[in-house]
Amino acid sequence: MEKLIIHGGNPLFGTVNISGSKNASLPILAATLLTRGECIIRRVPDVSDTNYMLQILQNLGADVERASGTVVVKCEKLKSHVAPYDLVRKMRASVCVMGPLLARHNRCDVSLPGGCVIGDRPIDLHLKGFEGLGAEATVEGGNIHLKARYGLQGGEVNMSGKYGTTVLGTDNVLMAAAIAKGTTVIKGAACEPEVVDLADFLNSMGAKITGAGTATITVEGVTELSGTEHVVIPDRIEAGTFMVAGALASESALKVNRINPKHLELITKVLRESGYQVDETADSLTVHRNPNGTGANIVTSPYPGFPTDMQAQMCALFATTEGESVVKDTIFPQRFMHLSEMKRMGADFEFDEGTAVIRGVEQLSGAPVMASDLRASAALVLAGLNAKGSTDIHRVYHIDRGYEGIDEKFRNIGARIDRVRE
């Protein structure tokens, strides 16, 4: 195993180039199973989650080539309709092969992904969506069996549940409906830019999808999809993470480049309201440091609301900003493991029922801490950047799941970070 050692106090400067989106790449890679044609996908980040997905595709019979951000997938013949536990347990997002497998085979057996540290993460809404297209779902021996006896048939489905809509659930139904018979109307659909990117990818393969990016998506089923070429959208969460780094630890400012600022509107708004200057161009945001920045109140909600995937990083910022901040996560109310680790660095907070009240302290001090999940690890890196002394972050494999070359990117903008084996 490896750990990161962050030597706090080196101010950041310059420009950081953002990679392609992990959360857009994963369903897009799964969607390549819908065609026999060749799909060329550019700007796929080299992170362990995309590597797992490529392993799953190979296991299911796809030929995969990968070179510097470009992935070529061709799945002439699906070898299997089964995604076994060994593959699925490594990454929850592997459930998004269900839609394509069901659509191409009229059946699939996929191992249930199980819980994860950020919460329960059920898939009832995915199954409800498939049932709306005529599939029957049964769970046995830890596996989900889906069968569409008479083929998939378009219908009206609602993807909204107790915690709002579901991103990968919407993706799954979109993929299945693309080659189902007839028209599907998805109500309560997730509006995330990653869903829009998947719809754009499917449309470039010949699908007929309208309304992506709104709560109602209409899919007119087609008989076949063809190969295509696609460039994945920039990773808005990686971008947001570096924006917080600019606010928290830059010498004067940090430019976050090769992004779509429209996807980051709420993060920009919160930073501005907290006193940080943010300059915008068509493909960059520059965040200025402000030692007198103040706290804020944020409540996570589905896009265009404040992303749960940026909640931990904001906690790292608020840990040393003046005043009291209130952070509520309505999507994953248990996703606050980072706070207990930051407490070891001197953070002052109270936590109850999905809401953290954080009182900014003058400075954190470096300490050995444990990464518990992807975004919690990113928050610990941010906290370590201007803490006094060194912060050792153990279990760093969590961060490698979703941030491409994170230590190298931080080193390039002035941070002192070492990666060592332990």
Nearer to ligand EPU, 12 or 191 (CB): 191
- The least CB distance from residue 252 to ligand EPU, in Å, is 30
* Alpha carbons within 13 A on the beta-carbon side of 406: 29
Instruction: Kindly state the DSSP code that residue 302 receives in the 8-state scheme.
Output: S
Residue 259 C-alpha from the chain's centroid: 15
Listed residue (150, 148, 110, 149) closest to 129, CA to CA: 148
For the record, the structure tokens of 418 come out as 């070492």
Q: How many CB atoms lie within 10 A of CB 334?
A: 12
Assess contact for 163 and 120: CB atoms under 8 A.
Answer: no
- The least CB distance from residue 122 to ligand EPU, in Å, is 4
- The least CB distance from residue 230 to ligand EPU, in Å, is 17
Nearer to ligand EPU, 90 or 126 (CB): 126
Nearer to ligand EPU, 371 or 374 (CB): 374
What are the DSSP calls for 248-290, one per residue?
HHBSSEEEEES--GGGGHHHHHHHHHTT--EEE-SSEEEEE--
CA distance 89 to 378: 22
Name the burial class of residue 214, with classes exposed (0-12), middle (13-18) and buried (19+) by CB atoms within 10 angstroms of its CB.
exposed
| Beta-bridge partner residues of 362 | none
Listed residue (76, 75, 35, 37) closest to 56, CA to CA: 75
- The least CB distance from residue 42 to ligand EPU, in Å, is 19
- The least CB distance from residue 309 to ligand EPU, in Å, is 5
For the record, the structure tokens of 245 come out as 């780094």
116 an active-site residue?
yes
Nearer to ligand EPU, 261 or 402 (CB): 402
**Residue in 39, 75, 108, 116 annotated catalytic:** 116
Nearer to ligand EPU, 34 or 125 (CB): 125
Binding site for ligand EPU (CB under 6 A): 23, 26, 93, 119-126, 161-164, 166-169, 194, 308-309, 331-332, 374-375, 402
- Annotated catalytic residues are 116
